[in-house]
Amino acid sequence: MSLDLATALQRSTVLYDRERLDHEIRRLAAELDAHYAGGERPLLLTVMHGGLPFAGQLALAMHTDIEFDYVHASRYRGQTTGAGLAWLHRPATPLRGRKVLLADDILDEGNTLRAIRQWCLDEGASEVRVAVLAEKEHDRRVPGIAAEHVGVKVPDRYVYGYGMDVYGQGRNLPAIYALED
């Protein structure tokens, strides 16, 4: 089944508007500034494509000087359920000895973030922290992954907007929506 964006919006409710998301991103930025205060320059790895709006806003809200790169690994490829992990881009920046901050749109079951986090550690990162705009509330999280920094909690429904897509659409919506069952 595939929905066009207009139909999806008609069948959805707004969970968090832009004002609330901006507030939560500023809160996360303050947490991260406190964590990185007086230390080495961290590397912000944006998890593409979904993490792009969140990571950009987070970076602009932080006062800490950060270096940028990105990683692109996906299980969804335009669908609403995940498949095998596909690595589309690995960071060009060496990770050995670096503090890495992974920024992604959502922590759902965690397969993709766990694999990316483990890859960063295997590459020699001295620390890997995870910041997500949203964390889905359910009991299906894979062992070995958690987000140290979470903007908002979302129900166990299909959510989209602010980086997250519905059938490849709606990533640039300025709010988080939940598709009705």
* pLDDT per residue rounded down to tens, the chain (181 residues): 578 999 999 999 999 999 999 999 999 999 999 999 999 999 999 999 999 999 999 999 999 999 999 999 976 555 545 557 788 999 999 999 999 999 999 999 999 999 999 999 999 999 999 999 999 999 999 999 999 999 999 999 999 999 999 988 999 999 999 999 7
Q: Omega of the bond prior to 49 within 30 degrees of 0, cis?
A: yes
Q: pTM to 2 decimals?
A: 0.92
Tell me how far apart the alpha carbons of residues 44 and 100 are, in angstroms, rounded to a whole number: 6
Listed in sequence order, the DSSP H helices in the chain are: 5-10, 18-36, 52-61, 111-122
b/e per residue, 93-120, with b = 16+ CB within 10 A?
A: eebeebbbbbbbbbbbebbbbbbbbebb
Tell me how far apart the alpha carbons of residues 32 and 13 are, in angstroms, rounded to a whole number: 30
Active-site annotation holds for 139: no
Which CATH number belongs to the domain containing residue 159 in this structure? 3.40.50.2020
CA dist 132 → 4, 21, 25, 91, 94 (Å): 26, 12, 10, 19, 23
Q: Which one from 108, 122, 139, 181 is the annotated catalytic residue?
A: 108
- Which one-letter amino acid corresponds to residue 21? L
Token reading at 44: 């912000």
Range of the domain at 17: 5-179
Report the number of distinct structural domains present in the chain: 1
Tell me how far apart the alpha carbons of residues 139 and 7 are, in angstroms, rounded to a whole number: 30
